[in-house]
A and B are shown apart, each in its own frame.
Chain A
Amino acid sequence: MDKSARRKPKKQKNYLKKRFFIFATLALILVVGSYFSERLCPYDPYEQNLSIAKASPSLAHPFGTDRYGRDMLSRVIVGSKTSIYSTLLLVVGITVIGTIVGIICGWNGKKLDTILMRISDIFLAFPGLVFALAVAAVMGGGVQNAVIALGAISWPKYARIARSQTLAQKESLYMRAAILSGCSTGKLILKHILPNITGPILVTAMLDIGTMMMELAGLSFLGLGAKPPVAEWGSMMSDTRNLLTTHPWVTFAPGIAIFLSVMVFNLLGDTVRDLLDPRNER
């Protein structure tokens, strides 16, 4: 009885590691593949050829062509760079900024904590996409502005997590010992606090990749993200909406790309969360 109870978590852990390996590989393929996307394209994704406009899927064009005769497969491949890298940049940005703000608040406390947390409350009070729409509308379209818009509303979540974790760590016994032994503030934060709060922040960031990818695609779909002729999955779906009934493959191609990428990053996030869950350590 005892033996099997001990083996079970181990089995679970191995299963999680295997799962992590599969999804991390898939995510890596997406990230590396999108980096070399221009070289992987069978055709120039921006070259118009009106004589083959709206061609249905064939061996030459597996995803068909759009209304300008551009190869949809090439556009989906090259669109991955805009979509995936913008998302990664966004998630890294909000994680770093949010964590820094959170640690400052948690460590300093007092007035600075109150001011920064009230600012984050203001951002949290806005409905996410509506605020991002307003920011993108004021600053104009473009992927860069869409990333800034989403970043502006997404950092407080990380600040909140980092702050609460810092507060908990600050009061722990080992921290008191470190303070008593004369560690500098920088060393205390970098060597003791940061490594101990990384887990929950990392899990949140991993789980956010899929959400952010959807939100960026959503902004682009609404015309506030990528501008023509830039290939970006959300704007590609928006551009081809009129053809949904008559030539569905042009909308289907970027749609399936979003679906698969979001799924891979979400499953990877879930696996990382399960791996870092202390219950699986027992």
Chain B
Amino acid sequence: MKKNMKKIMALLLTVTLSLGLYGCGSKNDKTESGTSTAAESDTSAAATDGSEKKTLVIGDTTFNPSNEELDVNPHNSYSGWACIRYGIGETLVKYSDDMELEPWLAKEWENTDPLTWKITLQDHVTFSSGRAMDAEAVKQCLEHLLANHDRAAADTKIDSMEADGQVLTIHTSEPKPALLNYLGDPYGCIIDVDAGFDDGIVAGTGPYIATDCQSGDHLTLVKNENYWNGTPHIDELTIKTITDGNTLANALLSGEIQAAYGMAYESYPMFENDNFTFSQISTSRCFFLKMNFNEGSVCTDPAVRKAIAMGIDKEGFVENLLEGNGYPANGTFPAGSAFGGDKVTTETYDAEGAKKVLEEAGWTDTDGDGIREKDGQKLQIKWLTYPSRQELPLLAESAQATLKDIGIDVDINCTADNNSVVQDPAAWDVYAMANVQAPTGDPEYWFTVFATSNATKNQGAYKNEKLDQLEEQLSQEFDTDKRAKLAVEMQQTVLDDNAFVYCSFLKMSQISRANVTGYMAHACDYYQVTADLDIN
């Protein structure tokens, strides 16, 4: 009996195990076949999804708090970049490929006197909330912008506004020649303030409507059926934040995403074939160094700043580490504009010259370890940078080697928490960052954001009275040629102080699978998703 019982138990166990294994096996088979189907026809699966719903996933390295894109509310820090880049919001004016102003939500504009602007809006534009876009709605939006945004009020100097049907009249407190340029900045996205800001989501006039927003993770959008300027094609668009360049490349290769922004230049060879499309354009995006002038920083010594400027091999960096996708920078702005390129002069790579500069300033290597000292202090600089712009860590390591040759020790801190660290003046000496220098097509923006003594992002406490006076003049100058001349003089002032070291301007690329159309890079670097975007 006992023996039989054992046999029955063994039989039952065998049957149970077999069933379990069969169950696992068939489950795995299903998963595998699902995966392989997805891998084989990734794009068509993404495009049709069974119910003929067109979906598209774009991988992006920059939609995260590290780039101050906390949500898609344009009135919040740099979130306007996400708002405009992903087709949620639109501005009154837009930029051509040559960065010239063109009508967008504004049909036309007129400068009736130095302090008054009359802007006529497009007819028949509605917000995604359903509200009609009229002068009253735009006035309400701009008032909210001025009250909440950290740069807008100082940039635009708007004093008061009057709304009359589709005509908006803006009065500024002082002459503001670049007002329209500033209103074309991503923070100038026109949104329906009454629709609210729940979870950082806003109602704009763009081809897509945000439904779910998690900065640093993803943004989900659906098409705006009532879009005024064309017919969006994608039913559901997802922006996936992928900060790691390698993961981004693999995601695009595997078909997990169908388009990518911010791909590392090193990964380009993987996509240079018929399966992918490149859209590349020269932009004013620049890799540059910001020096710390706060007390205690070694960069308060002009000789150290000059040696750093002379100790960076820009040519080598561009040619080898940017793989030729850019060119060495001379000044603040790229060549081609009336105020950029070779109109200014700066230090060039000269290791021997840099050694001499340091030697004369009293920095010598007394203990023979290759690093210079002065009054018992080692010549060490804390180099702060961040990883979401893939080549910034490469610039840091390249500079670390060339600066070591001249006797400067570089301690690199590459962190996604860069925005908090930069607020602590003791935590950095040099902050290497990437920035679009003239997103409004006008030079004034850069100086008021980074360089003047009351600039919003002047964490290094740089102050030059001459620069402040020139900015005062620039802010009131209507004549374009005179503005360009002033911008050149201001750049030269900054360069003479070696307060900023400009390393390179970049070509920006957007890469998509071959069946994606309308995914085009723009010179301003923030028009990305438009109504033309489609997947076949």
Asked if A and B bind, the verdict is yes
- Contact surface of A with B, Cβ cutoff 8 Å: 46-48, 50-51, 53, 67-69, 227-229, 241-246
Cβ–Cβ contact B320 & A243, under 8 A: no
Known: A50-B398, A67-B266, A228-B412. 5 other contacts (CB 8 A): A48-B402, A228-B396, A228-B397, A242-B246, A246-B270
In the complex, what's the smallest C-beta–C-beta distance from A239 to chain B, in angstroms? 8
User: What separation, in Å, do the CA atoms of A241 and B398 have in the docked complex?
Assistant: 18
Cβ–Cβ contact B412 & A246, under 8 A: no
Q: Is B269 an interface residue (CB 8 A)?
A: yes
Residues of B within 8 A of A245 (CB): 249, 267, 270
For residue A238, which residue of chain B has the nearest CB? B246
For residue B319, which residue of chain A has the nearest CB? A50
Interface string of B375-419 (1 = CB under 8 A from A): 000000000000000100110111011101000000110000000
Q: Is B321 an interface residue (CB 8 A)?
A: yes
Residues of A within 8 A of B402 (CB): 48
Cβ–Cβ contact A243 & B398, under 8 A: no
Q: Is B316 an interface residue (CB 8 A)?
A: yes
Cβ–Cβ contact B245 & A68, under 8 A: no
User: What separation, in Å, do the CA atoms of A113 and B397 have in the docked complex?
Assistant: 49
For residue A243, which residue of chain B has the nearest CB? B266
Interface string of B282-326 (1 = CB under 8 A from A): 000000000000000000000000000000010011011100000
A246-B245 contact, Cβ under 8 Å, with A50-B316, A68-B401, A228-B400: no
Cβ–Cβ contact A50 & B249, under 8 A: no
Cβ–Cβ contact B401 & A46, under 8 A: yes
Cβ–Cβ contact B321 & A67, under 8 A: yes
Cβ–Cβ contact B269 & A53, under 8 A: no
4 shortest interchain CB distances as A-B pairs:
A50-B316, A48-B401, A50-B320, A241-B246
Q: Is B264 an interface residue (CB 8 A)?
A: yes
User: What separation, in Å, do the CA atoms of A246 and B245 have in the docked complex?
Assistant: 14
Cβ–Cβ contact B313 & A50, under 8 A: yes
Residues of A within 8 A of B404 (CB): 46
Which of B246, B313, B320, B398 has the most CB atoms of chain A within a 10 A radius of its CB? B320
Cβ–Cβ contact A53 & B267, under 8 A: no
User: What separation, in Å, do the CA atoms of A50 and B411 have in the docked complex?
Assistant: 21
Give the dominant DSSP class at A's interface: loop
For residue A245, which residue of chain B has the nearest CB? B270
Which of A46, A50, A244, A246 has the most CB atoms of chain B within a 10 A radius of its CB? A50
For residue B246, which residue of chain A has the nearest CB? A241
Cβ–Cβ contact A47 & B401, under 8 A: yes
Residues of A within 8 A of B313 (CB): 50
User: What separation, in Å, do the CA atoms of A242 and B320 have in the docked complex?
Assistant: 15
Give the dominant DSSP class at B's interface: helix
User: What separation, in Å, do the CA atoms of A62 and B267 have in the docked complex?
Assistant: 24
For residue A48, which residue of chain B has the nearest CB? B401
Residues of A within 8 A of B396 (CB): 228
Residues of B within 8 A of A246 (CB): 266-267, 269-270
List 5 interface pairs A-B (beta carbons < 8 Å), by A numbering. Answer: A48-B401, A67-B394, A68-B321, A241-B246, A242-B267
Give the size of the chain B interface in residues (CB under 8 angstroms).
26
A229-B394 contact, Cβ under 8 Å, with A53-B320, A245-B270: no
Cβ–Cβ contact B412 & A244, under 8 A: no
For residue B313, which residue of chain A has the nearest CB? A50
User: What separation, in Å, do the CA atoms of A67 and B396 have in the docked complex?
Assistant: 13
Cβ–Cβ contact A242 & B266, under 8 A: yes
In the complex, what's the smallest C-beta–C-beta distance from A241 to chain B, in angstroms? 5
User: What separation, in Å, do the CA atoms of A243 and B320 have in the docked complex?
Assistant: 13
For residue A228, which residue of chain B has the nearest CB? B397
Which of A51, A227, A229 has the most CB atoms of chain B within a 10 A radius of its CB? A229
Residues of B within 8 A of A229 (CB): 397, 400-401
Residues of A within 8 A of B412 (CB): 227-228
Residues of B within 8 A of A244 (CB): 246
Cβ–Cβ contact B400 & A242, under 8 A: no
Residues of A within 8 A of B394 (CB): 67
For residue B394, which residue of chain A has the nearest CB? A67
Residues of A within 8 A of B317 (CB): 50
Residues of A within 8 A of B393 (CB): 228
Residues of B within 8 A of A68 (CB): 321, 397-398, 401
Interface string of B261-274 (1 = CB under 8 A from A): 00010110110000
In the complex, what's the smallest C-beta–C-beta distance from A2 to chain B, in angstroms? 39
For residue B268, which residue of chain A has the nearest CB? A246
Residues of A within 8 A of B266 (CB): 67, 242-243, 246
User: What separation, in Å, do the CA atoms of A265 and B269 have in the docked complex?
Assistant: 39
Q: Pick the residue among A48, A69, A227, A242 that contacts B245 (CB under 8 A).
A: A242
User: What separation, in Å, do the CA atoms of A50 and B320 have in the docked complex?
Assistant: 6
Q: Pick the residue among A46, A47, A48 that contacts B398 (CB under 8 A).
A: A48
In the complex, what's the smallest C-beta–C-beta distance from B371 to chain A, in angstroms? 14
User: What separation, in Å, do the CA atoms of A48 and B396 have in the docked complex?
Assistant: 13
User: What separation, in Å, do the CA atoms of A241 and B393 have in the docked complex?
Assistant: 14
Residues of B within 8 A of A241 (CB): 246
In the complex, what's the smallest C-beta–C-beta distance from A258 to chain B, in angstroms? 19
Residues of B within 8 A of A243 (CB): 266
Which of A69, A228, A244 has the most CB atoms of chain B within a 10 A radius of its CB? A228
A-facing residues in B313-359 (Cβ within 8 Å): 313, 316-317, 319-321
Cβ–Cβ contact B398 & A242, under 8 A: no
For residue A47, which residue of chain B has the nearest CB? B401
User: What separation, in Å, do the CA atoms of A67 and B267 have in the docked complex?
Assistant: 12
In the complex, what's the smallest C-beta–C-beta distance from B421 to chain A, in angstroms? 12
User: What separation, in Å, do the CA atoms of A241 and B390 have in the docked complex?
Assistant: 12
In the complex, what's the smallest C-beta–C-beta distance from B400 to chain A, in angstroms? 6
A-facing residues in B242-259 (Cβ within 8 Å): 245-246, 249
In the complex, what's the smallest C-beta–C-beta distance from B403 to chain A, in angstroms? 11
User: What separation, in Å, do the CA atoms of A245 and B272 have in the docked complex?
Assistant: 13
For residue B396, which residue of chain A has the nearest CB? A228
User: What separation, in Å, do the CA atoms of A245 and B267 have in the docked complex?
Assistant: 8
User: What separation, in Å, do the CA atoms of A91 and B307 have in the docked complex?
Assistant: 44
Cβ–Cβ contact B401 & A67, under 8 A: no
In the complex, what's the smallest C-beta–C-beta distance from B402 to chain A, in angstroms? 7
For residue B412, which residue of chain A has the nearest CB? A228
For residue B397, which residue of chain A has the nearest CB? A228
